[in-house]
Structure 1
């Protein structure tokens, strides 16, 4: 337990963290990788280049300072981050390295303002926070190895590679060892570890499982971020699209993640996705319509046009089979063929009047996923409509951001 004096010192640093948090975490990562370059095999290089990881860590440190006297309030965030750590292979021995480097970064950025009292208080606080993470993640590692699960990364063979749209391709993956698959909760993801020729370090990316549980395979549906791999996150997705074929082997972690559909809830459910953000929601959709007959379901998807619309036929087949499901498509840039065939319901972007019309009621559970600007818009609209915070469920691809 932290002393009252330590708690007060930590709380006194809240304004400093609000102002200098990102500078501290940016310096932290510079120092961490300079001293421990082997950790570049774990961290997502693209998130580093985009600054998303630095911002996410700054937000986490700030939240820890604000709630230092009631850390139980940020336990859901600890668990969310813990899922990501477990899927990446973060271990207890990494925490002292992180703690030492974080304190050094605080000293480096704040200079004389980082008094011995402040640094010692943060050392004590970090020890408590690290213990919480280690404890939560130990349980997750143990759970991951149960009922067909495994520790670390397991070899999977690409059984099929299916082009879903001009920018999204699905990979059907079966265990190379032929042993049973671990079950998963719809909405969860796996980490894929890859060695790309010419790259010094391994790359790990997390991809949602896009099909229903209980199949003899896992399916991931990957967007090609950039055909030439020039964008920060383009190397891995481009390699998967252009180089990985049926018969090749990928290394996967056991499923992880806490963005899952509440199957105890029987009220109407509304899924809202943008672009490749539909992948976890399609898995949830299968679960709801197959196991909760009669529960009203709305699936709303926004994309550029018919050429970029992935998994459309799969969802429409579900709608034909299950009367409880209605699906609606919103195209921001429909092609002439789209207009001629009218395979969509709205042109432009999702707006609140249309969303109210197709969702029908705000007394529902709303699950949404997509690019951060898309999610900000959806979150704003749902709040404006008066949807309760408890009914808003969303997932970020990559480090968490603020909506």
Structure 2
């Protein structure tokens, strides 16, 4: 809990800091990478740095945490902290790195805000930072202990590669040492580290898209554009059967719970990967609960796991599938041409929902689920890349 003195100062300065927070985080990353270029080379996603999304996500998390501290002093944004902590442990973030972040972040605050950063203001925001950092360190320590790891990645052999669409490939991985696969839950992800042509050892996180016996399965979409996806393109161009990848223990706070309540599984585009993993689990465990599986895509040929999606739903005794295509290549019902729209579906108010896809899709679906009577606490989502929805 933030001290009353600091709470008053943070409340008074939050508008000023909030207005400058992206400038502050921009200066922070510039300072951090100038002092520690290895962090940009081997830890941070260079694509997210190039397009500014990581800067915006950091700014949003700090502002959201500070806002909760001053507006709801008896609460802690545990969902937000858990999401960040799972991402951190999959990357191997350690406690001492928070001091490094602190030093460069507060130098950036002073640089941007100048004389407005009085000793009292600095002390108050120091308290905010360490409340957030120490909470994350504690959660991350528990996650490391539960996994039996300290963020290291283990060699896995690619035993097969399957093309799902022209731009999506599934890689089946088995431990190179022949040992057991770590336990994981449907909805979780692993981080994969590859060495690129310039020597950088970049890391990306990929959802587990199935539950193969004795292995892990990830599915990767080739990311085009500027900047193009460094790791996704490397995997598509250079990684085939027999290759070795360095893979983390599975992590992720969005996990399908085994219960009897109805469940809505909604995805769009490559957001289908954790959802298809959840459907595999439901089918393999013979779940009798009601399942409403929803997917949206550009067209049939871009819909990864299209046949698996239909087949898994057919295996479930109380499941239904609903698919929308924006530009269908074949015949598609008029009411299913375009973007996903749940308003015509019978969605029970006691359902729990799991969403994955582009942010506009998830915002729209979340709104429709709320209007159907599902509480916000029962709507879970996974974001690929920096979470631009933190605190929402």
Is the shorter-chain TM-score for this pair beyond 0.5, marking a shared fold? yes
Deviation string 1:270-304 (CA, Å, 9 cap, x unpaired) is 11110000111111122223335321112111111
Q: CA deviation at 1:375?
A: 1.4
Distance of 1:137 and 1:108 partners within structure 2: 31
Deviates more, 1:31-40 or 1:129-138: 129-138
| Change in CA separation of 1:359 and 1:194 when aligned onto 2, cut-off 3 Å | farther
The equivalences for 1:292-331 within 5 A come to 293-331=287-325
Deviates more, 1:123-132 or 1:237-246: 123-132
Deviation string 1:334-391 (CA, Å, 9 cap, x unpaired) is 12xx23xx6998222122xxx2334443442221110112212212332344432123
Q: CA deviation at 1:157?
A: 0.7
SS of 1:361's equivalent in the other structure is coil
Deviation string 1:235-285 (CA, Å, 9 cap, x unpaired) is 211111121100001111100111111223x12111111000011111112
TM-score (norm 1): 0.90
Match of 1:349 among 339, 363, 366: 339
Q: Which residue of 1 aligns with 2:96?
A: 93
Answer whether contact 1:79 1:136 (CA < 8 A) is retained. yes
Distance of 2:237 and 2:324 partners within structure 1: 29
SS of 2:76's equivalent in the other structure is helix
Distance of 2:248 and 2:322 partners within structure 1: 34
Q: Which residue of 2 aligns with 1:245?
A: 240
Answer whether contact 1:275 1:303 (CA < 8 A) is retained. yes
Distance of 1:3 and 1:346 partners within structure 2: 53
TM-score (norm 2): 0.92
SS of 2:18's equivalent in the other structure is helix
Aligned length: 387
Deviates more, 1:47-56 or 1:382-391: 382-391
Answer whether contact 1:155 1:251 (CA < 8 A) is retained. yes
* Corresponding position: 1:389 with 2:376: yes
Q: Which residue of 2 aligns with 1:206?
A: 205
Q: CA deviation at 1:31?
A: 1.0
Q: Which residue of 2 aligns with 1:135?
A: 138
SS of 2:114's equivalent in the other structure is helix
Q: Which residue of 2 aligns with 1:67?
A: 68
| Change in CA separation of 1:21 and 1:151 when aligned onto 2, cut-off 3 Å | closer
SS of 2:81's equivalent in the other structure is helix
Q: Which residue of 1 aligns with 2:215?
A: 217
| Change in CA separation of 1:288 and 1:359 when aligned onto 2, cut-off 3 Å | farther
The equivalences for 1:2-401 within 5 A come to 3-40=3-40, 41-68=42-69, 70=73, 72-145=75-148, 151-197=151-197, 199-212=198-211, 215-226=213-224, 230-264=225-259, 266-291=260-285, 293-335=287-329, 338-339=330-331, 346-351=336-341, 355-401=342-388
Question: Structure 1 unaligned runs (5+)?
Answer: none
Distance of 1:206 and 1:235 partners within structure 2: 13
Answer whether contact 1:89 1:152 (CA < 8 A) is retained. yes
Q: CA deviation at 1:398?
A: 1.4
SS of 2:62's equivalent in the other structure is helix
Distance of 2:363 and 2:17 partners within structure 1: 24
Deviates more, 1:46-55 or 1:382-391: 382-391
| Change in CA separation of 1:325 and 1:100 when aligned onto 2, cut-off 3 Å | same
Q: CA deviation at 1:200?
A: 4.4
Distance of 2:275 and 2:55 partners within structure 1: 28
Distance of 1:308 and 1:125 partners within structure 2: 45
Deviates more, 1:315-324 or 1:31-40: 315-324
Q: CA deviation at 1:144?
A: 1.4
Distance of 1:43 and 1:111 partners within structure 2: 28
Q: CA deviation at 1:72?
A: 4.6
Question: Structure 2 unaligned runs (5+)?
Answer: none
